[in-house]
Amino acid sequence: MSIDLASPLEIVDIIAAEDALVAPAVAAQREALAKAVDAGEQALRSGGRIIYAGAGTSGRLGVLDASEIPPTFGADVGLVVGIIAGGPAALLRAQEGAEDSAAGGARDLDTVNISACDFVVGIAASGTTPYVHGALQRAKEVGATTAMIACTPLPPATSGIIDIPIVIIVGPEVVTGSTRMKSGTATKLALNIISTGAMIRVGKTFGNLMVDLRATNAKLVDRSERIVAEVCELSRDAARALLQRADGLVKRAIVMHMLDVDAATADMALDASRGVIRRVLQQSPAALAQLQPGEPR
């Protein structure tokens, strides 16, 4: 209550102390988050998508997480989708009243052609946002699996539309009601777990390496070459040449080298293993042991 009288250092200490409560609160929802990872994997493997629906900060975090999936994991744009009350304009400026429309949430799901194969994650720190509830209700109507990330206990009426409740109790915000703070941090952590976990489960990594990344800039080109060089124990020049033969695809390049096959055969082997490179190679990425903790890849 006296934060407005605090020095800059005291403000930092107060906020940092409150933020330290977030990670344990997220970890307390480990079983629910594991169910969400599994639901995400099942959706992706059945031709569906992970769809986030939220308003305000919650919606922006969903859109952010969805936008980072293609470059990180080489996933198709649209495999993870974020919708926000008020549309794209709401990413930069609050759209007053948009979050109060349950019909708007249902309509926006219809716009992205919601199907029973999809996994829909509602995001609402308060747990009561009408837009989010409208989206989840529409998802249930078509047979999709649903989850909700909230930071307060959910009202009993939600039990019929939410398959996986993820309730992360972070306590009062430093600035009362400012859910962009602890609630926002908790939401970001939960989304990281759900999307990253689902991507790992469908084979987007080898060990902890991003073997399906898309080299869309110089940093990612360098990372691709480093990964191939490390895993295949090649020089940087040899790794670069191998990637050229693999059309820049890291996972394909690794399989080509390890099995001594051409690109088409490597793709066939990956398809047979449902995209999981470890099942193709039947070995762990031993070269990773040579990396120092924290070394950039």
Q: If you count DSSP H runs as helices and E runs as strands, how many of each does the chain have, helices first?
A: 12, 5
From the list 165, 289, 140, 291, the residue with the least C-alpha distance to 226 is 291
CB burial of 97-119 (b: ≥16 within 10 Å; e: otherwise) equals ebbebbebbbebbeebebeebbb
Instruction: Name the active-site residue from 41, 99, 225, 230.
Output: 99
User: What is the three-class DSSP state of 1?
Assistant: coil
Instruction: Name the active-site residue from 10, 31, 41, 68.
Output: 68
Q: What is the CA radius of gyration of the chain?
A: 21
* DSSP state for residue 147 in the 8-state scheme: E
Structure tokens at 182: 């602890």
From the list 131, 136, 107, the residue with the least C-alpha distance to 121 is 136
Query: Would residue 68 show up in a list of annotated catalytic residues for this protein?
Result: yes
Query: Would residue 41 show up in a list of annotated catalytic residues for this protein?
Result: no
CA 268/CA 247 separation, integer angstroms: 16
Cβ atoms 54, 85 nearer than 8 A: yes
What positions carry a catalytic annotation? 68, 99
